């Protein structure tokens, strides 16, 4: 067997194993707040990598009353937003998102439903028990069996899951993030220097209203907005690419000397130029 065929065989085996694991995913239980009870029957777990440090990785478990597109959620910059794109706001129902840290502790849950609309955040209540936790699978239960009061309304939950952990697809980028990393550094330099022609290329269609040719006031406001919290000379700590998109983990000081870090999504356009699609940065001390 040639090296290429062997590599292809390994990839197909891994794909089959992932598909089989996902087929065995199980979720159940309920979440009640006030008179509204949400019965859950579907589950997806995705690995979230908020920083370049694997010790910061978290597992997000989504429990819902309707089927979820796990592949789309795992590939998305924000798996929760990817899930919400498939929701029908006219259909009653919703989901619960559970956050598990790398060391197996809970980092909060979020309940959200439509028709009627309601949402709720909680942490530190109930008992979380993990029966299995590995890079490939997580199983357990988080239950609050004695109702708690929340502004005159009680809530309780019993959340059960046994799911494969989906990881973001794609290939690792070289040190510095390759072409996508170079493009992001060029974007940061254009923001710092106020290079309008370069910024119009990076902003694409949004440049028509954010950097209009005949509105100096709007240009000034946009430059201020772009510079707020933007690393001036960002370091690309890590990156991976999937098709025409790349995610970069970046770190650097902004114009106020506050160190920012987080993730950036870059998109490859039809003109083969990498442009900034979105970024999620925060104060490195938070």
Three-state DSSP string of 6-42: HHHHHHHHHHHHHHHHHHCCEEEEEEEECCEEEECCE
Regarding whether 214 and 183 lie in a shared domain, the answer is: yes
Q: Which of 114, 131, 166 is the last residue of a domain?
A: 166
**Residue 264 scores a pLDDT above 70:** yes
Regarding whether 55 and 175 lie in a shared domain, the answer is: no
Q: Is residue 193 part of a domain?
A: yes
Summarize pLDDT for 122-153 with one digit per residue, the tens.
999 999 999 999 999 999 999 999 999 999 99
Summarize pLDDT for 66-97 with one digit per residue, the tens.
999 999 999 999 999 999 987 887 889 999 99
Summarize pLDDT for 223-242 with one digit per residue, the tens.
999 999 999 999 999 999 99
Q: Which of 132, 166, 200 is the last residue of a domain?
A: 166
Regarding whether 159 and 182 lie in a shared domain, the answer is: no
* Four-residue CA torsion sign, 122, 128, 133, 137: negative
Regarding whether 55 and 108 lie in a shared domain, the answer is: yes
Q: Is residue 53 part of a domain?
A: yes
Confidence band, pLDDT 50/70/90 cuts, at residue 286 = confident
Q: Is residue 57 part of a domain?
A: yes
Regarding whether 189 and 118 lie in a shared domain, the answer is: no
Q: Which of 110, 144, 166 is the last residue of a domain?
A: 166
Percent of the chain predicted with pLDDT > 90: 81
Regarding whether 258 and 144 lie in a shared domain, the answer is: no
Q: What is the pLDDT of residue 159?
A: 98
**Pairs from 202-205 (Cβ < 8 Å, separation ≥ 24):** 202/275, 202/276, 203/275, 203/276, 204/269, 204/275
Distance CA 185, CA 235 (A): 8
Regarding whether 156 and 31 lie in a shared domain, the answer is: yes
Confidence band, pLDDT 50/70/90 cuts, at residue 270 = confident
**Residue 213 scores a pLDDT above 80:** yes
Angle 179-181-187 from CA coordinates, rounded to 5°: 105
For range 56-65, the mean pLDDT: 96
Regarding whether 216 and 132 lie in a shared domain, the answer is: no
Regarding whether 157 and 204 lie in a shared domain, the answer is: no
For residue 117, what are the domain limits? 25-166
Q: Is residue 191 part of a domain?
A: yes
CATH number at residue 227: 3.10.450.50
**Residue 54 scores a pLDDT above 90:** no
Regarding whether 193 and 221 lie in a shared domain, the answer is: yes
Q: Is residue 10 part of a domain?
A: no
Regarding whether 57 and 187 lie in a shared domain, the answer is: no
For range 165-178, the mean pLDDT: 94
- How many domains is the chain partitioned into structurally? 2
Q: Is residue 44 part of a domain?
A: yes
Confidence band, pLDDT 50/70/90 cuts, at residue 17 = very low
Q: Is residue 8 part of a domain?
A: no
Percent of the chain predicted with pLDDT > 70: 92
Regarding whether 187 and 95 lie in a shared domain, the answer is: no
* CA R_g for the chain: 22
Q: Is residue 60 part of a domain?
A: yes
Calculate the average pLDDT of the chain. 90
Question: What pTM value is reported for the model?
Answer: 0.85
Q: What is the pLDDT of residue 23?
A: 61
């Amino acid at each position: 067997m040639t090296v290429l065929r062997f590599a292809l065989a390994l990839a197909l085996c891994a794909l089959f194993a992932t598909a089989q694991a996902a087929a065995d995913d199980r979720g159940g239980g309920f979440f009640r707040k006030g008179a509204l009870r949400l019965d859950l029957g579907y589950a997806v777990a995705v690995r979230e990598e908020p920083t370049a440090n694997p010790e910061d990785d978290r597992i997000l478990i989504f429990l819902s009353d309707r089927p979820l597109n796990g592949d789309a959620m795992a590939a998305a910059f924000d798996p929760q937003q990817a899930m919400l794109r498939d929701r029908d706001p006219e259909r009653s129902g919703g989901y619960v998102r559970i956050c598990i840290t790398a060391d197996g502790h809970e980092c909060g849950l979020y309940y959200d439903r439509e028709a009627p609309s309601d949402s709720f955040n909680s942490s530190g209540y109930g008992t979380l028990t993990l029966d299995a936790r590995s890079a490939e699978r997580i199983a357990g239960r988080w239950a609050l069996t004695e109702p708690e009061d929340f502004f005159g309304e009680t809530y309780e939950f019993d959340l059960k899951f046994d799911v494969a952990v989906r990881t973001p697809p794609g290939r690792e980028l070289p040190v510095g993030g390759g072409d996508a990393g170079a493009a992001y550094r060029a974007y940061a330099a254009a923001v710092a220097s106020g290079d309008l022609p370069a910024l119009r290329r990076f902003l694409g269609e949004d440049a028509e209203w954010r950097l209009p040719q005949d509105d100096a006031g709007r240009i000034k406001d946009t430059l201020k907005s772009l510079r707020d919290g933007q690393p001036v000379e960002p370091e690309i700590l890590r990156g991976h690419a999937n098709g025409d998109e790349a995610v970069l983990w970046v770190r650097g000081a902004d114009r106020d000397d506050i160190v920012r870090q987080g993730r950036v999504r870059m998109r490859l356009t039809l003109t083969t130029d990498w442009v900034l699609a979105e970024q999620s940065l925060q104060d490195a001390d938070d």
